[in-house]
Structure 1
Amino acid sequence: MESRRGGSDVVRNAWTGVTQALFIDALSADALILLDGANGTEIERRIGPLAAPLWTAAALVEAPDVIQQVHRDYVRSGARILTANTFRTHARNLKHTPLAGESDRLTKLAVSLAREAANGHAWVAGSLAPMKDCYRSDLFPELSEFDKEHREQAARLATAGVDLILAETHGNQREALAACRAGIDTGLPTVVSLLCRDANHLWSGESLADTVVRLAPLQPAAIGVNCVAAYQVSKVLQSIHTAAPDIRLIAYGNTSEVDAQGKWHPTDAVAPDRYADHVAGWLAIGCHLVGGCCGTTPEHIAKLNQRFHFNDQE
């Protein structure tokens, strides 16, 4: 992807010529950008369950062709951002597995699979995920540890050649801030997506508004929410917008929701049409980047592109 840092041309059709512009240029032109859908659940849908702690990192070894086909299917569906399968390639996650010490290699492989699939038609985002289970904020390591480790992983992603850093599914304020700083320090556009318990709280129980107010001065390219039920997203986006009216928004929701016992239950968003109905509300709030998280498929992304004409805008 060609670099035009400092260029003044307005990007009028970033979605059909992503090789000609930086991601940040498209945002500056207020383009609506379509992300891909789920990687993890879509890979599992095709090859079967993947066990923790490796989860999708195992698929990089066992089924890289499937990962790349998932990426290709999202490009065909209209996605203009592909998220590399790096959610579980950080060194801490691999430490006590047969893939210990392979973080550099697996991160590079994941990015290359996405880059080849993009073939000049999509940007590649590097997923910078929590160091521990997203839904167990009590398991996070000390600040000094995950600050250092996020910087290391962000540097791996930058070296591997991503176009932007996607610090995603962060439900702990300290780690969200650490991941955001780590991404920004690479010099790449960095987007922060939070995991929320409700419209006012992170998964950890910390204040969403306070977290957004602390993130905004770091100047991420966007702040938003992912990995919550699609019907919950609008209220979270409204809270983020209220806390930081000038920040661009990102959202990608789940087709299911988790109960107090940690069990998952499907929602109406399993149907691509209904998922699109929810996304209409996100766009009405002013969300610029939308896609899908757990349970969404290329069919969901295709429906969004068909309904909202992401790739036809001028």
Structure 2
Amino acid sequence: MDQTTTTRTTRLDGGTASGLEAAGITMTPPWWTTRALLSDEKRRVLRSLHEQFLAAGAQVITAGTFRTNLRTLQAAGLQDAGLAWMVHAAVGVAQAAQKAANRNARVVASMAPVADCYRPDLVPDDDSLRAEHHWLAVELSRAGVDTVLIETMNTTREARAALEQVQAAGMTGWVSFVCGDDARLLSGESLADAARAVVADGAAAVMVNCADPVRTQLCLPVLADVSVAPIGAYPNLEDRDGITGGWEPKAFAALMTGWCEDYGLTFAGGCCGTTPEHVAAMTAALGG
């Protein structure tokens, strides 16, 4: 791999949810990863996972705000205790991990679909999207975040609404879509059209995530062809049983190296099932 490709690729971290689950924190609705914020003991597990990804060479770690949106927190019955504290706790844990690791790494926040990552039919109306993403964007900004990874987006409409609110709160937005077959969002929309739309809206990067490597690879030439913004990928390595079948760290590293060479990825990492060992192998392969 040539040095120019290596130097322009920023390494992302791996699967937070699968890492927490491996550590014994159950991923069940409505909590999902937010469960890791409920006690000092669980927050230590989350911080340790961030630190492991940093030690493995990640240059970007994503705070555990994936499910700290209004809809999830209200479903968990937290109204009486207030809701925003969980957003600030998640960001604080990631910031503490970055500071303790003493590495030149960046902390970004996660912003997911307000309903379900894999159910585009559940995306609410525009007014609800605007209000719910506004609430989270404001709290992320107050927590000291400057960049938000708007991820696992299954419709162009919600991706644009989330990006609008992130920018209105004074932050930078990276947008990542989840796709099915033929480089199409789960809504059936063309990835090419979705990428053009969010880049026109001011997205600082456009990526694909949480699809298996085969589907992800179909998306990369589309992004490379249509996007004038930096592009990236962080695939899902788990099969339907939650097993990282076939994608051992060296195989994953070879996959990501090939994608960086072939498509000029600016961002490379992993989603569900991607462990610190996978990130360490990718770091070594990319010359980090």
* TM-score normalised per structure 1: 0.83
Residue 231 (structure 2) aligns with = 249
Of the three residues 252, 255, 263, the one matched with 1:275 is 252
CA distance in 2, matches of 1:66, 1:35: 19
Structure 2 gaps of 5+ residues are: 1-6
Of the three residues 20, 23, 26, the one matched with 1:43 is 20
Output the amino acid matched with 2:74: K
CA distance in 1, matches of 2:168, 2:224: 25
Residue 177 (structure 2) aligns with = 194
Of the three residues 234, 237, 240, the one matched with 2:217 is 234
Residue 78 (structure 1) aligns with = 57
Task: Tell me if 1:115 matches 2:98.
Answer: no
Conserved? CA contact 1:167–1:190, under 8 Å: yes
SS at match of 1:192: strand
CA distance in 2, matches of 1:201, 1:264: 24
CA distance in 1, matches of 2:132, 2:30: 17
Q: Per-residue displacement from partner, 1:130-169 (whole Å, max 9, x unpaired)?
A: 1011011111111110122112211111111123110000
Question: 5 Å matches for 1:122-133?
Answer: 122-133=105-116
Question: 5 Å matches for 1:1-314?
Answer: 31-62=8-39, 63-100=42-79, 102-119=82-99, 120-121=102-103, 122-244=105-227, 246-258=228-240, 266-269=244-247, 271-284=248-261, 285-310=263-288
SS at match of 1:198: coil
Q: Per-residue displacement from partner, 1:87-114 (whole Å, max 9, x unpaired)?
A: 0011111112232364310000000000
Conserved? CA contact 2:257–2:285, under 8 Å: no
Q: Per-residue displacement from partner, 1:35-92 (whole Å, max 9, x unpaired)?
A: 1111111001101422111111111104111000000111111111110000001111
1:256 deviation in Å? 2.3
Residue 3 (structure 1) aligns with = none
CA-based RMSD: 1.6
Conserved? CA contact 1:241–1:247, under 8 Å: no
Q: Per-residue displacement from partner, 1:195-217 (whole Å, max 9, x unpaired)?
A: 10124210111121111121111
1:266 deviation in Å? 4.4
Q: Per-residue displacement from partner, 1:6-32 (whole Å, max 9, x unpaired)?
A: xxxxxxxxxxxxxxxxxxxxxxxx732
CA distance in 1, matches of 2:132, 2:116: 15
SS at match of 2:23: helix
SS at match of 1:191: strand
Conserved? CA contact 1:255–1:295, under 8 Å: yes
Conserved? CA contact 2:33–2:64, under 8 Å: yes
CA spacing shift, 1:239–1:36, aligned 2, 3 Å: same
Conserved? CA contact 2:112–2:150, under 8 Å: yes
CA distance in 2, matches of 1:109, 1:55: 15
* Between structures 1 and 2, the one with greater strand share: 1
Query: Equivalent pairs: percent with the same residue?
Result: 33
Structure 1 gaps of 5+ residues are: 1-29
SS at match of 1:268: coil
CA distance in 2, matches of 1:84, 1:156: 13
- Identify which range, 118-127 or 75-84, moves more after superposition: 118-127
SS at match of 2:75: coil
CA distance in 2, matches of 1:249, 1:257: 25
* TM-score normalised per structure 2: 0.90
